[in-house]
Amino acid sequence: MIVAGNWKMYAGPDPRELADRLASVSGVEVVVCPPFTGLAACVHAGLATYAQNVHWEREGAYTGEVSAPMLLGIGAAGSLVGHSERRQYFGETDEGVARRAAAALAAGLDVIACVGETLAEREAGETEEVLRRQVSVLEAHARLVVAYEPVWAIGTGLTATPETAQDAHAFIKSLLDVPVLYGGSVKPDNAVELMVQPDVDGALVGGASLQVESFAAICEAAAAAA
């Protein structure tokens, strides 16, 4: 089981307090994804730390970007790529996501690549078409994990039913043999029922990762479901 907390553009909890609270949780790989300004503090607290994005070039005139060697240099272990908010607000494409993932993996970072459909795409019966397109640009790798995040369930309070999540995860695994996390309004009170599904390998947690106790509760739920 893998549980990753995406802090987005929030300061997040105190890294040392979080590390102390998670010390008693076993059987789960726990990752935090703070903003760039919080990476060093999370690394120093002993947390497995991922960036929220990474560029495909090692260096260059790419204002506002950060490279895999730079992340490795401060002790980061991996990065998210292709989060729906990056696709929606910053125009990231499937091709760009593939380039970011490939460069990060080649440099030695772990990668969580995010995929998922919008509400309009789901209502149009296009979920599998969208997932096939987004997953097809990725290549299986020992350090690659996919996160299925139905866009309609991110920050909305809506959550895919366990059966809906299971169907999507099984479909993704039929395309690419990697672990698949569920992301979309994961909370302590729904974590167990989601993570006991046979093809759900953990969670990508947003808002609930900003509080120590709620995030720890999800990690404990993952341990119970493992």
Fold of 2-225: TIM Barrel (3.20.20)
Residue among 83, 117, 169, 220 flagged as catalytic: 83
Residues 148-200: tens digit of each pLDDT: 999 988 777 777 899 999 999 999 999 999 999 999 889 999 999 999 999 99
- pLDDT for res 143: 98
- Known active-site residue 149: yes
Any idea where the domains of the chain sit in the sequence?
A: 2-225
> Tell me, what's the pLDDT at 53?
98
Largest CA distance in the chain: 47
Which is catalytic among the residues 92, 117, 149, 220?
149
Could you tell me the pLDDT band of residue 50, with boundaries at 50, 70 and 90?
very high
- What is the per-residue pLDDT across 200-223, written as a single tens digit (0 to 9) for each? 999 999 999 999 999 999 999 999
The pLDDT score that the predictor gives to residue 226 is: 83
What is this structure's pTM? 0.96
CA dihedral 4, 5, 9, 13 (to 10 degrees): -140
pLDDT in tens, 96-152: 999 999 999 999 999 999 999 998 899 899 999 999 999 999 999 999 999 999 998
Question: Is 61's pLDDT higher than 80?
Answer: yes
pLDDT per position as a tens digit, 10-41: 999 999 999 999 999 999 999 999 999 999 99
- The confidence score (pLDDT) of residue 128 equals 97
CA 186 distance to own-chain centroid = 12
Q: 150 to each of 92, 191, 224, how far by Cα in Å?
A: 17, 16, 24
